[in-house]
Amino acid sequence: MNTDRNFSQRLLDWFDQHGRKNLPWQQPATPYRVWLSEIMLQQTQVVTVIPYFLRFTERFPDIHSLANASVDEVLAYWAGLGYYARGRNLHKAAQLMLAEHHADLPNDFQALMALPGIGRSTAGAIMALAHKQPYPILDGNVKRVLARYTAELRWPGDKQAEADLWHLAEDLLPEKRINDYIQAQMDLGATLCTRSKPRCQDCPLNTDCQAFLAGTPTAYPISKPKKAIPSKQIRWLVFHHDGQLLLEKRPVTGIWGGLWSFPEMAIDAELSPMLSEANISDFQELADIRHAFTHFRLTIRPLLIELNQPVLAIRDTDQQRWVKIENITSLGLPAPAKTLTEKLARGF
């Protein structure tokens, strides 16, 4: 692999002219704000994250406020960002920092790695951006830049390929301005070295970027071997009574973990036994809802069930709750549930 020692200086020179220096988490770049932004930016673009970050930090300006909030409230502010384990891990990590680190992010790489939701790249970003310590990162943007720079012929998710990219990322670290350099790597991948239509002519690394010199930059990184994406169907039971809808808290593990949604059942399950105790005045099939996840496609078939009165089997518990329609969005809801609730609100 080419480990040109001018790599970092060219990147820093480009950053001085074109880098992003006014992102909300850079004003100021405290460890808490850097940590929060790095978690939000996993699998999510900057333009999407900014409004969530601003709302989140207004409500939870520090580790104390985040740790002392309920997980339901944290997830309500997270709702819409997806990958909800990130929100739950933020809350758990804040509680651990309150208990074990005097409500501060540790200034230690291994201690950061021990916290929920913080892996090697996130820990490296916190150490470099917040503490100005020489640690590499290897997020999606950096993987793409390095894979193109070296024309890496293996899928970057391959164990040995990833280990080699980590080694290269560490070799290329500059002796000074580590925080600017790490930000420059991310900025280059986000603004020039993009997945499609990379602006190679404007790139400071184009004189020896192997993918550019070969004329095939978009061939890198090598794609992961594709598998058929499975489909799944479920039914939502949308109980309505006196301007209220019944919500059910989802298990912590699995999709939409810990969020509030509608009671769910298998699409081919028999409805009659479940509804036999309910005092139903009417029910109707609603339009299907389709939602795509990374690993499968989900079709939801909502059944709106009008009750004359709530039955004993359907009452408020820690896992079930009757909520007025106008108050539902104060809870953490999956995007499809929020969309359905808004449509129902317009119809009642």
pTM, to two decimals: 0.72
The yes-or-no verdict on residue 120 having pLDDT over 50 is yes
* 38 is a catalytic site residue: yes
User: Looking at residue 270, what is its pLDDT?
Assistant: 80
Residues forming a β-bridge with 265? 235
The yes-or-no verdict on residue 164 having pLDDT over 50 is yes
User: Looking at residue 2, what is its pLDDT?
Assistant: 43
Q: Rounded distance, CA 35 to CA 19, Å?
A: 20
User: Looking at residue 327, what is its pLDDT?
Assistant: 87
Mean pLDDT to the nearest integer, 90-109: 96
The yes-or-no verdict on residue 274 having pLDDT over 70 is no
Q: pLDDT (tens digit, 9 = 90+) per residue, 18-35?
A: 999 999 999 999 999 999
If one compares 307 and 177, the residue with the highest pLDDT of the two is 177
Domains, the chain, with CATH or none: 7-219 (1.10.340.30), 231-347 (3.90.79.10)
The yes-or-no verdict on residue 341 having pLDDT over 50 is yes
If one compares 277 and 207, the residue with the highest pLDDT of the two is 207
Torsions phi, psi of 194, nearest 5?
A: -80, 165
**pLDDT mean across residues, the chain:** 91
* 148-162, 172-186, 238-252, range with the lowest pLDDT: 238-252
The yes-or-no verdict on residue 275 having pLDDT over 70 is no
User: Looking at residue 348, what is its pLDDT?
Assistant: 63
How many helices (DSSP H) and strands (DSSP E) are in the chain?
A: 14, 8
Q: pLDDT (tens digit, 9 = 90+) per residue, 36-93?
A: 999 999 988 999 999 999 999 999 999 999 999 999 999 999 999 988 999 999 999 9
Count CB atoms within 10 A of the CB of residue 51: 11
Mean pLDDT to the nearest integer, 216-226: 92
Mean pLDDT to the nearest integer, 10-19: 97
Q: Rounded distance, CA 225 to CA 232, Å?
A: 22
Q: pLDDT (tens digit, 9 = 90+) per residue, 287-331?
A: 999 999 988 999 999 999 988 876 544 555 678 989 999 888 788
User: Looking at residue 281, what is its pLDDT?
Assistant: 72
If one compares 58 and 271, the residue with the highest pLDDT of the two is 58
User: Looking at residue 313, what is its pLDDT?
Assistant: 44
Of the chain, the end-to-end C-alpha distance in Å amounts to 64
Helical (H) or strand (E) element with 241: strand 231-241
Mean pLDDT to the nearest integer, 184-192: 96
From the list 38, 58, 170, 342, the catalytic residue is 38
The yes-or-no verdict on residue 277 having pLDDT over 90 is no
Residue whose structure tokens are 């939602």: 291
